[in-house]
């Protein structure tokens, strides 16, 4: 039996009809207007209606950035769409004759990775999504971890430097400030300013006036020493965070997704080294695996669909 | 139906016959010799046999410090008793006609607190045990969190200061170095050396040659400003760790146990203040409760008994 | 017998015909286009040809920033001109009927200073060139020190602060980040922001929108307390580095060149003080001299010419 | 032609008759009394006389800890024997009809390693001797580096932490405080105090009242996790120092001797990792080799003999 997954991002809504093996049967995509929550609702209703036509659909899962309540009905707060205590589930169920589940987008993506991607065969996994920010998901004993208020796992806001860089969350020193795509760009820009090893970065910056994540990604692929130095610094910070997460959560595997994870083993190598260097009780504590996520762009919709389907059958 | 709980500490073994409501029917206590694992085994077998006499006992749970494997059968490593990959469950089941469960002592105590103590009525709880070190337990969606290798939750080894104090786990900057009873004593001793507000601490130290945890505890109760300053510093560090744990685990309540928790609200107040000061997305993220543990000395045996009973019925 | 020295900088190529006493007979200067390595080659060939006309020239030495191989033939990597593993010696010798030697520019300048400037009469010298960055040269027992891979002496990348400021070399905490002209400008700008002693710096900044190295240099000459404070901070960092270099290299004299060295004794005084304060085994270890370089703009061409001449006669 | 090497240590004098291939023909050993410089002189004269009987000996080299003047005649200062500006060469040459050379003991050992041990085939080597302290020797372009005052290379006093631990040299933060055998013992003792991973260390300490370097060495060989954690921390500090030394000296190989080097690859692994993590211009700068010294106890006498022989023929 099929389910529908919807992923509401900052610039587009992705939708897909997904079967039980995580395969996408059909998909759709529309632009979003963040300032028009009602227009987003209409688009979601339309897309679900169209993808359902002639299909046996049991549920739809909606993935969105932000804090979702523990009952998975209400969006407390969304950074992309201007929702504040929005009863999205009730609103959508009133317009569609279908069970609806609301899920945080990083959790949905993490669940897809656990069920159909790099996490298959494990029981306990931590996913870190290295995009503009750092998102996270925890699977413990085969269950997605949501937290007591539905806000887990905001892994990007683990504090790694007391009194460190101010974060968009209002606190200081979060790993998001040292391990995200935005942090990579900041480090790369600092290296471009510094000259020396950063000359390749400086050349890319000077062609367009400023560096982009795409430039840095391309230079990493080309083996530019400055871009590789920036990536190693990022990986070192992430690996140190992983050693703390190992103490708290003790996963069997850490999976890295998001745009920066395209660097593959070049990213995993410094992460692994810093994790081992800082692992509490090294030698006694079994060591986790490190892998790159396998479901790249589709993780959100596939995970949302699967969670919605499983939620229906769990009741 | 009753179960037996055993708590193997560094200096004694506590044992109790516990009913389904967490009430202790009868209990026993014997000294341990850490260097004599065989003697400890014999004592455990004896105590279980005696407490079982004439009772309908369904299982026994053994709480011990250290890493227990995910199958809850083997002690990988115990800091108090010299166990290395010890198949304790098989050894005991071979000598007793009773299902046995091995559990980490902080997990057992946390579970007792969740089921019969300060955690009742919640679904997601984090316990921090502030004794000589800092122990931890996580309950998520009513389940005790054990981790993929059985080593969770070593909350005392969350890193809070990069390159900070060397910890007994071999890493640097763990919260145990800033938030434990041993840390409280170190801070108090530094204040005694510094004069000023530390004069009361210095006087207590000079009477005996060195400060003890008991001295500091007494001075806290008497309202000595130096001892209170040391406690506030400890609480500030713990509260900062709680804000990181809130981002990762999102519990509804943090419960503090262990000897230092006898300070009660004097400890909770600086913890709560530092938690709020550092909480990511404050204002959007629901705020957790903070409480002192209710089952003080009995938490280990009560939790071990309850987990063993529930394990039997879950199969 | 004369030799020709060439110094390829970021914005110009300097060339000179130099006699055995280090005196410049004739000189030339042309602008560079960093992105046009072929144009730079052509200019170098032209300048050597013109300066050689009617002269008995035995060799030409080419000074360039970057890593030169141990055989002094190939530029591994140049920060100013986009050379990567460039066989510059072979290319030039094929076009000119003259022995060519390639040398790092800081080494060439250090050698000139040792042979004809502030280092005369010593056997062991360390030069630190305080320009935009920090360059270095070592003379040991009358020989220029090149290192096993030809990359010595990158004295600007001695680490002085673990986990300190990100450097253009991709590492953190290099002395270049605390002791260069760029560092002086950063410190001066921080003081301008801070008010108080920095009011003179702030006034200079507010006239043009931002501080320049020239402004800071002028204020130092005028005795502005803020600019002098910035210079003392710079000198303190450099002096601490000198005490480490004394332990490793044990020179008889440290010579300071580059634009910032125009401050003369005002720079040397805090350097000497910090050196003495941090000198290992002070009292037992003989103390080095400190001096300002004497060959300012010509050091590169004079040193390159002299090294090339001596290389020819050494064979 | 043979030469004699003498190594004056804190507790004994070692002497050997050494051939041109670095092979020891005969050797001798006597206890020292540090407070009796005259007795030491007598012993040295005796040993040289006896070892020379019936042999064609061209020179004798004396290795001693401390600062030797650039002419290799006078001991400025010796930590083991109470020498202050002692004209040891003149004194010995007056009593023996043989050319004498005085050399710092770490330099002598480094030279032996370069000529007959792990440094064979290289031109530029740095040796770090990890004994009670940290000694060093530099070979550059096949020459032993002595410095302008004869005091190089005191590599143990490279400062790695500004304002760090007070060192026996009177300065703060020298690598000797973080990378020596004494530092290893301090870290191991801290881990023993801290419990946890340090239990094996604590057990060893409790058997005798305090830990010894021998205990730590044995536990490293046995794979004790606490001892390995202490060694990794030591190696990390040494590797960071090597990345600074690479910028300054650019050796092709780093060779590690002294008692702690018996740990072999267990020591080299964290050294190499920290070196790479902190290497300036990584990717552009060729990477050095890392090796364990091969001439363990004999390096001092073999190197002193070889340097003395070569000194005679160089004149």
Instruction: Taking residues D93-115, report their average pLDDT.
Output: 95
- DSSP 8-state secondary structure symbol assigned to residue B285: B
Strand bridging mode C125-130 / C134-140: antiparallel
pLDDT confidence of residue C89: 93
| Residue numbers in D near A228 (CB within 8 A) | 282-283
**C296 band by pLDDT with thresholds 50, 70 and 90:** confident
- DSSP 8-state secondary structure symbol assigned to residue C62: E
Return the domain boundaries, chain A. Answer: 2-111+298-314, 122-180+227-292
For residue D171, give Cα distances in angstroms to A82, C110, D147, D165.
59, 29, 20, 9
For residue D182, give Cα distances in angstroms to B94, C248, D132, D178, D220.
48, 21, 5, 9, 15
Whether A77 has a pLDDT exceeding 80, the answer reads: no
Whether D303 has a pLDDT exceeding 80, the answer reads: yes
CA dihedral angle for residue D276, residue D282, residue D284, residue D289, rounded to 10 degrees: -10
Backbone angles phi, psi at A24, to 5 degrees: -85, 120
pLDDT confidence of residue D315: 66
pLDDT confidence of residue B155: 96
Whether B79 has a pLDDT exceeding 80, the answer reads: no
Q: pLDDT digits over C238-273, tens only?
A: 999 999 999 999 999 999 999 999 999 999 999 999
**A11 band by pLDDT with thresholds 50, 70 and 90:** confident
pLDDT confidence of residue A272: 96
pLDDT confidence of residue B236: 95
Backbone angles phi, psi at C146, to 5 degrees: -110, -20
Strand bridging mode D143-144 / D134-140: antiparallel
> In the predicted model, what is the mean pLDDT of chain D?
92
pLDDT confidence of residue D150: 85
Of A9-13, A34-38, A68-72, D292-296, which one has max mean pLDDT?
A: D292-296
Say whether domain A122-180+227-292 belongs to CATH 3.30.420.40.
yes
Judged by average pLDDT, the poorest of A82-91, A252-261, C214-223 is A82-91
Triad A189, A195, A201: Cα angle to 5°: 45
Instruction: Taking residues A157-172, report their average pLDDT.
Output: 90
Q: Which residues of C274-295 are buried (b: 16+ CB within 10 A; e: fewer)?
A: bbeebbbbbebbbebbbbbbbb
pLDDT confidence of residue B315: 67
Q: pLDDT digits over A300-314, tens only?
A: 999 999 999 999 887
Instruction: Taking residues A258-270, report their average pLDDT.
Output: 96
Matching CATH topology for A2-111+298-314 and A122-180+227-292?
Answer: yes
Helix (H) or strand (E) holding B202: helix B199-208
**D104 band by pLDDT with thresholds 50, 70 and 90:** very high
Q: pLDDT digits over C33-43, tens only?
A: 777 888 899 99
Contact C168 A229 (CB under 8 A): no
In DSSP terms, D144 is beta-bridged to D139
Q: pLDDT digits over B141-186, tens only?
A: 999 999 998 888 999 999 999 989 999 888 999 999 999 999 999 9
> In the predicted model, what is the mean pLDDT of chain B?
92
| Residue numbers in C near D282 (CB within 8 A) | 170-171
**Would you say B248 and A248 are in contact if contact means Cβ atoms under 8 Å apart?**
yes
Whether A143 has a pLDDT exceeding 70, the answer reads: yes
Q: Give the integer Cα–Cα distance in Å for B158 and B247.
A: 13
Residue C215 tokens, joined:
């402004």
Query: For B121-180+226-292, CATH number?
Result: 3.30.420.40
Whether A195 has a pLDDT exceeding 80, the answer reads: no
Q: Which residues of D214-232 are buried (b: 16+ CB within 10 A; e: fewer)?
A: ebbbebbeeebbbbbbbbb
**B279 band by pLDDT with thresholds 50, 70 and 90:** very high
- Which ranges constitute the DSSP H helices of chain D? 37-52, 88-95, 105-116, 176-179, 181-194, 199-208, 213-222, 225-249, 265-278, 299-314
Instruction: Taking residues C213-224, report their average pLDDT.
Output: 95
**Would you say A188 and A226 are in contact if contact means Cβ atoms under 8 Å apart?**
yes
Instruction: Taking residues D253-263, report their average pLDDT.
Output: 96
Instruction: Taking residues B98-102, report their average pLDDT.
Output: 95
- Which subunits have 3 or more CB–CB pairs within 8 Å of chain C? A, B, D
Q: pLDDT digits over D180-201, tens only?
A: 999 999 999 999 987 778 888 9
Residue C290 tokens, joined:
């400190």
Whether D84 has a pLDDT exceeding 80, the answer reads: no
Q: Give the integer Cα–Cα distance in Å for A69 and B298.
A: 35
* Gyration radius from chain A CA atoms: 20
Neighbours of D297 (CB within 10 A): 10
pLDDT confidence of residue B154: 92
Closest chain C residue to the Cα of A232, Cα to Cα: C170
Instruction: Taking residues A4-32, report their average pLDDT.
Output: 94
Query: For D121-180+227-292, CATH number?
Result: 3.30.420.40
In DSSP terms, C290 is beta-bridged to C254
pLDDT confidence of residue A163: 87
Strand bridging mode A143-144 / D24-31: unpaired
Instruction: Taking residues B223-251, report their average pLDDT.
Output: 95
| Residue numbers in D near A277 (CB within 8 A) | 232, 236, 270, 273
Closest partner CB to D199 (pick from B79, B132, B166): B79
Q: Which residues contact C313 (CB under 8 A, 6 or more apart)?
A: none
Q: Give the integer Cα–Cα distance in Å for A220 and A78.
A: 33
DSSP character string of D200-260: HHHHHHHHHSS--HHHHHHHHHHT-HHHHHHHHHHHHHHHHHHHHHHHHH--SEEEEESGG
**Would you say C62 and C6 are in contact if contact means Cβ atoms under 8 Å apart?**
yes
Of A113-127, A138-152, A276-290, which one has max mean pLDDT?
A: A113-127
Triad A81, B253, B23: Cα angle to 5°: 150
Cα separation of the two ends of chain D: 16
- Any chain B CB within 8 A of the CB of C121? no
Whether A231 has a pLDDT exceeding 90, the answer reads: yes
**Would you say C81 and C33 are in contact if contact means Cβ atoms under 8 Å apart?**
no
Say whether domain D2-111+298-314 belongs to CATH 3.30.420.40.
yes
Q: Measure B164 CA to nearest chain C CA, in Å.
A: 13
- Any chain D CB within 8 A of the CB of B165? no
- Any chain D CB within 8 A of the CB of A225? yes
Whether C315 has a pLDDT exceeding 70, the answer reads: no
Q: pLDDT digits over A24-73, tens only?
A: 999 999 998 877 888 999 999 999 999 999 999 999 999 998 888 888 88
Q: What ipTM does the predicted assembly reach? A: 0.92
Q: Give the integer Cα–Cα distance in Å for B227 and B214.
A: 11
pLDDT confidence of residue D178: 96
């Amino acid at each position: 039996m099929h389910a529908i997954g919807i992923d509401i991002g900052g610039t587009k809504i992705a939708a897909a009809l997904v079967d039980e093996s995580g395969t996408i049967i059909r998909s759709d995509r529309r632009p979003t207007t963040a300032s028009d929550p009602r227009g987003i609702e209409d688009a979601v209703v339309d897309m679900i209606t169209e993808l359902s036509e002639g299909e046996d659909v049991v549920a739809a899962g909606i993935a969105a950035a932000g804090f979702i309540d523990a009952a998975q009905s209400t969006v407390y707060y969304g950074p992309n769409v201007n929702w504040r205590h929005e009863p999205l589930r009730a609103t959508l169920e009133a317009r569609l004759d279908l069970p609806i589940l609301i899920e945080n987008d990083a959790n949905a993506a993490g669940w897809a990775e656990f069920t159909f991607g790099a996490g298959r065969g494990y029981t306990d996994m931590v996913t870190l999504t290295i995009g503009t920010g750092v998102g996270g998901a925890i699977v413990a004993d085969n269950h997605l971890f949501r937290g007591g208020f539905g806000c887990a796992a905001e892994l990007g806001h683990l504090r790694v430097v007391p009194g460190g860089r101010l974060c968009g969350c209002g606190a200081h020193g979060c790993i998001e400030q040292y391990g995200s795509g935005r942090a990579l760009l900041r480090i790369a820009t600092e290296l471009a300013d510094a000259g020396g090893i950063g000359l390749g970065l400086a050349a890319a910056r000077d062609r367009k006036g400023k560096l982009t994540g795409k430039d840095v990604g391309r230079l990493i692929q080309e083996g530019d020493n400055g871009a590789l130095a920036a990536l190693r610094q990022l990986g070192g910070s992430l690996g140190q965070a992983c050693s703390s997460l190992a103490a708290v959560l003790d996963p069997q595997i850490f999976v890295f997704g998001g745009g920066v994870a395209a660097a593959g083993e070049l990213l995993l190598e410094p992460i692994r080294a810093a994790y081992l260097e800082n692992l509490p009780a090294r030698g006694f504590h079994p060591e986790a695996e490190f892998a790159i996520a396998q479901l790249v762009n589709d993780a959100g919709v596939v995970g949302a669909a699967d969670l919605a389907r499983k939620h229906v059958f769990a009741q």
